[in-house]
Each structure stands twice: as structure tokens, then as C-alpha cells.
Amino acid sequence: MDLEQLDLMDAMDASVVRGAQEQEGITLKGRYDFKCYDKDGNLKWEDTIDNVVCTIGKNIALDAFLAGSAYTVVGPFMGLISSVGYTTGPAAGDIMTSHAGWTEAGGANAPTYTAPRKTCVWNAAAAGSKALSAALTFAITATGQINGAFVVYGTGALSTIDNTAGTLFSAGAFAAFKSVSNGDTLNVSYSLGM
């Protein structure tokens, strides 16, 4: 008698693949755009700087965004960075009273321009970005070299050149110094996106 034998086996495998959590990140990215014109209105040079948004600037922005029920903006004001005494560019830890490596142009450090610091006026935010409504104009009154720009705002901020009050929001430096002469006009735009 022949016996037939049948071995049966059943197997099943399943797995679920999903993310353990959702994450969203925000990075503030600022940009300064410069155009320098000579006394006759001819373009001498132009350059762009991606800036450092300083830690203290991020902190005041977050406090205003998330807890500022009665927050009023003071400034912001834009100033220029001088080549005088320049050793290192802006850093995240810089504050208005302590930014070793760079100095402000316009007062004690060349080049000078018609005071005060320029007041930033903004367009409405759109597509996750906010920009000045028009370039800020610095009328240069003495020859020298600049190396960038900065924005200061918040409680105590003033438009007075060389004043150290307020919160340093952002600062950016060129790869190399840029020369300006008496009679030049420097137009600077700024935008911030996240």
C-alpha cells in the first residue's frame, strides 16, 4: 500500500512602517543687498551678504511671536560695519554692548555718513518672508571702507550712531572690505525669511 503524505505549512509576515514623530524646524535666514553709487549716480559696486541672526535677536523675536500680547516694536534701525578695528565677522553670540571683532561705521569709525542710523520700514510678510519696503540710503560723507551692516531693535534701541542700547538682531559682513568715498550713496536692502 502506498501512502501519500502531505506536509502543510502556513506562514504570514506583517510589518508597519511609520515615523516615530513629526518634526518641523524654522531657520531664520536674512540677506543684505548693497549697491554703491558714485556722486554722478554711476554704480561702483554691488554685493550681497547672508547674515547671522544673533541668538539674542532670535530670543526677543520668539518672545514677541509667542508671548507678546502688548508688544511694541522699537526701531528697527540699520547701521554699517566699519573696517576700522575689524578682526572677525559677526557671530551668533554678539550683542550691542559686546561684539568683539567689529565696530560701527558712521561716528567714531570711518567711513561717516549722514546721521542717524536708518529706520527700517517693512512690507507685509508674504510667503514666509519679510522685506524692507525700500532700500535704505546712506549718504557717505567721508572716504573709508565698510564691511557690512547690522539691525538693532527692541527696548532702548536708538537711531543714534555708536549707541549700544537695544537688541542686536542681525549682522553680516562682506568677504572683503568695500571702499566708499565722500559723495557716494549706499543703498541697502534687507529681507528675512523662515
DSSP class of residue 120 equals P
Q: Is residue 111 part of a domain?
A: yes
Per the DSSP assignment, residues forming a β-bridge with 47 are: 34
Cell output for 154: 527692541
**pLDDT higher than 70, residue 69:** no
Band of the pLDDT at 185, cuts 50, 70, 90?
Answer: very high
Across all residues in the chain, what is the average pLDDT? 88
Contact in structure between 43 and 36 (CB atoms under 8 Å): yes
Q: Is residue 193 part of a domain?
A: no
Give 86-131 pLDDT, tens digit per residue.
Answer: 999 999 999 999 999 999 999 999 999 999 999 999 998 898 889 9
For residues 105-128, one letter each, b for 16 or more C-beta atoms within 10 angstroms of the residue's C-beta and e for the rest, the string is bbbebbbbbeeebbebeeeeeeee
Per the structure, the count of domains in the chain is: 1
Q: Is residue 92 part of a domain?
A: yes
Cβ neighbours around 10 below 10 Å, total: 4
pLDDT at residue 7, rounded to an integer? 54
Band of the pLDDT at 71, cuts 50, 70, 90?
Answer: low
Domain that includes residue 163, residue range:
29-188
Report the share of the chain in percent with pLDDT over 70.
85
Highest mean pLDDT among 12-16, 50-54, 86-90, 186-190: 186-190
Q: Is residue 172 part of a domain?
A: yes
Q: Is residue 2 part of a domain?
A: no
Q: Is residue 41 part of a domain?
A: yes
pLDDT at residue 36, rounded to an integer? 98
Stronger pLDDT, 58 or 40, i.e. the higher one: 40
Q: Is residue 140 part of a domain?
A: yes
pTM: 0.84
Stronger pLDDT, 72 or 122, i.e. the higher one: 122
Stronger pLDDT, 116 or 27, i.e. the higher one: 116
pLDDT at residue 37, rounded to an integer? 98
Q: Is residue 19 part of a domain?
A: no
For CA atoms 48, 175, 75, 194, the dihedral sign is positive
